[in-house]
Structures are given as C-alpha cells and as structure tokens.
C-alpha cells in the first residue's frame, strides 16, 4: 500500500452556521483534526481562517511540523480582489503556511478573464513574497471539460509568464471546494476525468484533487495519475484503509 498520508490535506471547512455547532465546538473539532494529523503523520490540515491563529499555537505547543492551510474566498469565489487579499494577508499574519483560493469562476464563466488573471497574479504574488504555497480552486463541477482545460492552461501560462521558475512548484491548481451544489446527482468534486484534463493542461504547475475523495483506492489512483496533493474531509478513513460514505 502506498503512503497516502504524505499527500493529504485533512480538511474541516464547515462554518458553525453550516454545521450547527458552536464556535467552541468547531474549535474543538479543528483541534481534534490537527491532533489526528499529528498522530498519523498527515501532511497538512486545512481549516477556516478564523481558527488559524489558535491552531498555529496548538501546533507550536505540540512541536509539530504538520503544515497549516486555510481557504480564501471560500466557497463561492466571488469576493473582490481586495477582500481576497485582505483575508489572505490576515491568514498569513496568523500563521497559515498554505492558502487555497477559490478563483472567481463566475467571472470566468461570464468571460471576464482579465479579472481572474488580476486576482490570480496579485494574490499569488502575496503568497510568494511571504514564502507561502498558493492553490487555486477552479471548481470543476461548475465547468465543462473544455472550460476546465482552458482555465487550467490559462493559470499555468500566467504563472510561467509572471513568476520565477523556482516558484512554480508552489502554485497549485485544485479541482474543487467540495461545497458546490450540483444537479442530478452529478459529482461535485474531483472526478478522474476532470483531474486528467487538469493534468494534461497544467504544464509545470502541480495539481491538487479535492472534493469527494472517500476511498484509499481512489486516492491511490489520483496519486498514480499524477496529483501532488489530495484534499479530503475523510483523511483518517483513507489512511486506515477504509472507505467513507461521506466526509466530516
């Protein structure tokens, strides 16, 4: 069996409003997720920005090298560029190592490629200046295959044209938030087909598969296809070699 843990971003991204839990219960949940990551040598935890500062302290107390990630503009991606920059700056100051931005795919679908390019360049620049990893969620369930190819290729070309070659490994294209509402039971997250299209068009950028990855077999298959990271709210089941019917 492959060592899946080293590829995983173990996520808890529900807000108290979405889960019905209190702030304290949510903090306890992200602490438990972090302890689990420490115990099982999971690469990273990915949590909402509100909890970064406290979890950074928790990781320091535990003397842990688990990587701390957060989400920006989550989950619709429609925040303005200034709002995304402010949220990202605060998360960096609070101690985030990796920032997963939701791209403004609504703007992309309306044909406003300039806005998407502008947010990509400015937010990625901020991450590079602070030696942080930037990941760009394109929300593949909202896109056709042709659009998945097109946006992945555009991001890759913008990255190559505007950042140094050494920084490209720190700029990911990520498939999904896991929160997109689809119709007709269509998968809302990472599909093998969608991931393959991303891999075929990402040129030098690494790919993160996220959303609906529930079995160790699927995780292994994604890794064999070539993804460098997997985001999942079922991390523990995956590394215990079990399937999970749903995340969280």
Report the alpha-carbon distance of residue 16 to residue 83 in Å, rounded.
21
Nearest CB to ligand G3H, comparing residues 178 and 216: 178
The runs of H, that is alpha helices, within 1-144 are 16-19, 23-39, 52-61, 81-94, 105-109, 113-129
Closest distance to ligand G3H from the beta carbon of 101 (Å): 11
Q: Does 212 bind ligand G3H (CB under 6 A)?
A: yes
Q: Does 70 bind ligand G3H (CB under 6 A)?
A: no
Report the alpha-carbon distance of residue 35 to residue 109 in Å, rounded.
40
Q: Does 69 bind ligand G3H (CB under 6 A)?
A: no
Q: Which of 209, 218, 231, 239 binds ligand G3H (CB under 6 A)?
A: 231
Report the alpha-carbon distance of residue 207 to residue 112 in Å, rounded.
24
> For residue 1, how many other CB atoms are within 10 A of its CB?
7
Q: Which of 77, 206, 216, 247 binds ligand G3H (CB under 6 A)?
A: 247
Q: How many residues bind ligand G3H (CB under 6 A)?
A: 15
Residues with Cβ within 8 Å of 212's Cβ and at least 6 positions away in sequence, in order, are 176, 178, 187, 188, 189, 190, 247
Residues written for the chain: 248
Report the alpha-carbon distance of residue 86 to residue 237 in Å, rounded.
35
Closest distance to ligand G3H from the beta carbon of 161 (Å): 27
Q: Does 178 bind ligand G3H (CB under 6 A)?
A: yes
Q: Which residues are catalytic?
A: 100, 174, 208
Q: Which of 30, 103, 142, 210 binds ligand G3H (CB under 6 A)?
A: 210
Q: Does 189 bind ligand G3H (CB under 6 A)?
A: yes
Contacts (CB under 6 A) with ligand G3H, residues 9-48: 11, 13, 46
CB of 205 closer than 8 Å to CB of 161: no
Closest distance to ligand G3H from the beta carbon of 139 (Å): 11
Beta bridge mates, 11: 46
Angle at 31 between CA 91 and CA 245, to 5 degrees: 100
Q: Which of 10, 156, 177, 191 binds ligand G3H (CB under 6 A)?
A: 177
Nearest CB to ligand G3H, comparing residues 174 and 202: 174
Q: Which residues bind ligand G3H (CB under 6 A)?
A: 11, 13, 46, 177-178, 189, 210-213, 231-234, 247
């Amino acid at each position: 069996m492959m060592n899946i843990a080293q590829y995983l971003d173990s996520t808890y991204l529900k807000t108290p409003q979405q889960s019905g839990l209190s702030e304290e219960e949510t903090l306890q949940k992200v602490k438990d997720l972090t302890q689990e990551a420490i115990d099982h040598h999971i690469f990273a935890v990915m949590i909402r920005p509100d909890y970064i500062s406290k979890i950074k302290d928790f990781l320091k107390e535990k003397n842990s090298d688990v990587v701390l990630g957060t989400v920006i503009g989550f989950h619709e991606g429609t925040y303005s560029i200034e709002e995304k920059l402010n949220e990202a700056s605060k998360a960096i100051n609070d101690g985030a190592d990796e920032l997963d931005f939701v791209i403004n795919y609504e703007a992309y679908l309306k044909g406003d490629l300039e806005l998407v390019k502008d947010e990509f360049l400015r937010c990625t620049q901020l991450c590079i200046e602070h030696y942080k990893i930037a990941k760009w969620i394109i929300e593949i369930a909202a896109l056709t295959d042709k659009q998945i190819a097109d946006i992945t290729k555009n991001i890759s070309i913008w990255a190559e044209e505007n950042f140094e070659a050494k920084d490209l490994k720190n700029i990911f294209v990520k498939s999904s938030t896991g929160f997109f509402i689809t119709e007709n039971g269509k998968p809302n997250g990472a599909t093998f087909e969608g991931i393959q299209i991303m891999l075929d068009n990402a040129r030098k950028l690494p790919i993160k598969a996220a959303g609906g990855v529930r079995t160790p077999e699927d995780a292994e298959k994604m890794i064999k296809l070539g993804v460098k990271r997997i985001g999942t709210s079922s991390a523990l089941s995956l590394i215990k070699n079990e399937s999970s019917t749903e995340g969280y």
